[in-house]
Every structure is written in C-alpha cells, then in structure tokens.
Structure 1
Amino acid sequence: FVYVLMFLTPKIDPRRKNYQLFSKTYYLLINAMLILFSLINVLVIMTGLGYDLPAGSIVPVLVGALLIVIGNYLPRVRSNFFFGIKNPWTLSSDSIWKKTHRFAAKVFTLAGLLIIADGLLSISPEIMLPVILATVFAPYIYSYVLYRKEINMKS
C-alpha cells in the first residue's frame, strides 16, 4: 500500500515537475522505507515463530539507519506537497525549502546516530523522546525563523 501510494503521489502533486529533478532520490528513499518495513515485518514473524531476537536493539538500529539515509538524501528533495519538510514557510519559498532541508539533513543524521547508539548501547530510554521531538520540531522552527527573516528583509 505504501509503495503504491508513494508511486501515485508524484502524478497528483501540483508541483509534479519537480519530481523529475529528484526522481532517483525519491525512489531510493521509498525503497529505504520499504526495506525498513520489510525487516521489521521479518523480525515480528521470527519472534512469532519463537526465535529470541533482541527487538529492542534491532529496531532502533534499523530506524536510526533509515534516518541517516534520509538525512543524506534530504537536501536533494525539491519543493513538493507530499515528501520532505512541508509547511507554509517551506512551500512559500524555494530558498527556505532548500535551507530547511539542508538543516533537517543534519538533524536527521545526528538523530539517526543517537538512536543507533541507544539501540546498541542501551544508553537511556529517556534520551529518545527529546531526540525524536527535536528531530520533528527543529526543522519546522528553523523554517519559521527563516521565513520571518525573509519577510523582515522584504519590508
């Protein structure tokens, strides 16, 4: 379902022409997500069959690896309505879109490394909530700050 949905979105996106500019990246990221889902599915099946697998370590490592992959390719994503950091500020300006995605790439990569470290070393579950919240909200706040700066420069 996810693959079909991701396959159809470029066809209905009002900014569909931009997908041609990052089509290889788009399909690479779709496949990375599908691989993660597949591996987690295999993990669940294996656990259900009675294998004693350390899911508490494996899942964070897989999710962290996906965040690192996303972080490495996020700057290549062009403005669209379905994929990337989408909010009124990033969609209003190509400059804000690009800067936000470069910033988000660093945030995602750092979060991925921290989540992998937590999965491998069992650092502390209390650390993960702030990491996840920062990963989600930092790019949005950053894009708003850029937008305000751009508005102030125009006035």
Structure 2
Amino acid sequence: MHLLRILSVFIILLTGGIVILVYPYLPDVIPTHWNIHGEVDGTSPVFPGIILIPALMTGITILMMVLPGYDPRWKRYKEFERAYDGLILLLNVFFCLLFLITLLWALGMQVPMNQVIAIIFAILMGGIAFFIRRVKPNWFAGIRTPWTLESETVWKETHERGFRIFLIIALFCLVGALVPEYAYLFILLPVIIGTIYLVVYSYIVWKKEQA
C-alpha cells in the first residue's frame, strides 16, 4: 500500500479513535445539519449520529480502492495512481474536518460554520483541480461525459480546462468566507455553473474534432 493510502487509513483510524475518546462527553443529541445561515436545523441521537461521517469515510475509501479493478481501462490507473490516491486522501481530510466541526458544535463550541465550510470547500475544489489535471481516461474518475469517453483528445482538452475551472471555483469559495451570509452562493453557484460549462465545453471540442 502506498504512503497516500496509508495516510487515508490513518485518518480513518484517527477519526474512529476520536469517537471513542469524546463519546462519554457528548450530549444525547448532536447537530448533523446546518442551514444557509450557519444555524443548526437538524439533529440526531448521539448514536448513530457520531459514527455517520467515519462510516462514510470508510465506505468511500473502500469503494474508491476497489472500483479501478472493475474498470475496463484499469491499466490506465497506473498512469495517475498518485493523483488518485491523493484524491482519496483529500476526501478523507475533508470529511474529517467536517467531523471535527460537528464535534465542536456538539461540545458547545459554535464555530462560524459558513466561513469554515467555505474554506474547506476551497481546499477540496483546489485539490480536485490538481487531480483533474493528471487523471487519464477511465470509467470512474474525472470529467466523464459521452464526448470525453469517446475521444482521448476531448478528454485531455476538457480536463485541462477543468483544472482552471476548479481553481476558479476554489477562489470563489474563499471569497464566500469573506461574506459568510452569502457563502452558500459562492460555493453552490460556481460548482453548478462550472459543471454545466465543462459538459458543454466537452461537446464543443468533440464537435470540432468531428468536423
């Protein structure tokens, strides 16, 4: 197992260890959802609420480690293996941070939710940008449209453009941290617009290639 995967497993185990350590100090009900104003609008009993994120981390990690073996293009993963393992690690860091924020709220420490979420989303989008730049054609990871899967040239050009788009999205997320009352707009709108743009862009590149 490579270092990045070992780090992913370590973060999952660390998160599980934190659950064991803090469980006796948690209230019977913990926050599990916040509205666009950064206020708690959803709660859950401490169990199973406390294990939801660690279970999600474990499930996603196992799934992402197993999926390449079922991809007809599985040999291509060797070409971007470190980037793929880095993406798994990035997702685990993201969810671990969400978990820690949840614990702080459960223990009575109300961190500024909108600002914190905007910052960790910026980190996530920036990390995805660098993964996007390195990923090679496959069936499970990357910008998969009918046109990128059809043509390696379209795949390459779309992912090069995707690298820049995701960096722009990350910057918008950081701006959202400066205006927390509108942070959700600076996260959701760039993601939606950027996704639609890349789908359309991949089609345009494919049409040009067919001409």
Shorter-chain-normalised TM-score: which range? over 0.9
Identity across matched positions, percent: 28
- 2:74 is matched with 16
Query: Larger deviation: 125-134 or 28-37?
Result: 125-134
Q: Over aligned residues, Cα RMSD in angstroms? A: 1.4
**1:117, 1:123 within 8 Å by CA — same for their partners in 2?**
no
Higher relative contact order, structure no. (Cα contacts within 8 Å, ≥ 6 residues apart): 1
When Rg is computed on C-alpha atoms for both structures, the one with the higher figure is 2
Distance in 1 between the 2:77 and 2:84 partners?
Answer: 8
Is 1:119 matched with 2:203?
A: no
The equivalent position to 2:161 in structure 1, one of 77, 98, 103, is 103
Task: State the match for 1:130 in structure 2.
Answer: 189
Q: Does 1:139 align with 2:198?
A: yes
TM-score (norm 2): 0.69
Higher strand share: 2
Aligned-partner SS, 2:82: helix
1:127/1:23 CA distance change after superposition, 3 Å: closer
Specify the alignment match of 1:81 in structure 2: 139
Alpha-carbon distance between aligned partners in 1 of 2:119 and 2:149, rounded to the nearest angstrom: 32
Which runs of structure 2 are paired with 1:57-68 in the superposition (5 Å)? 57-68=115-126
Contact 2:173/2:186, CA 8 A, preserved across alignment: no
Summarize the Cα distance change of 1:18–1:58 in structure 2 as closer, same or farther, 3 Å threshold: same
CA contact (8 A) 1:61 1:120 kept: no
**Equivalenced residues, count:** 152
Aligned counterpart, 2:207:
148
State the Cα deviation string for residues 59-110 of structure 1 (Å, max 9, x = none): 1110111101111231110001111100110000111101000101100000
5+ unaligned residues in a row in structure 1: which ranges? none
Q: TM-score, normalised by structure 1?
A: 0.92
Q: Which residue of 1 aligns with 2:94?
A: 36
The residue matched to 2:109 in structure 1 has which SS? coil
